[in-house]
Structure 1
């Protein structure tokens, strides 16, 4: 009488195939898309900064012709 070959327990089932790494084309595509997005955002910022947004205001501390003159009474001498 011969002995039957050893069998695997039914609870374990077949082994899953080994997992592969990430798809290199997917990674390359993500890098390209993120680079294009980054470059477009920086391009928009540069064009926004190129516009003249500063307004020049008269310095209120310097005398000018447009300023309103106020007569201030002289101080009383206090003894």
Structure 2
């Protein structure tokens, strides 16, 4: 195997979410922005949320799903 040079990765600008953003399970419009079409929660790398915000989002989505405000998933 010959060593092949790889092209250097290009750096993408990090997305930053609003630091004052809070999540409420009753606010489904905000929660839907962070879900995929299939109902999965988007990753932090995609949304730009902080770790604390990502945990709050996950908790709010879980509560909204339990209250039948959001679907558990779709196939």
Q: TM-score range by the shorter chain?
A: under 0.3
- Which is bigger in relative contact order (C-alpha 8 A, separation at least 6)? 2
TM-score (norm 2): 0.25
Larger Rg: 1
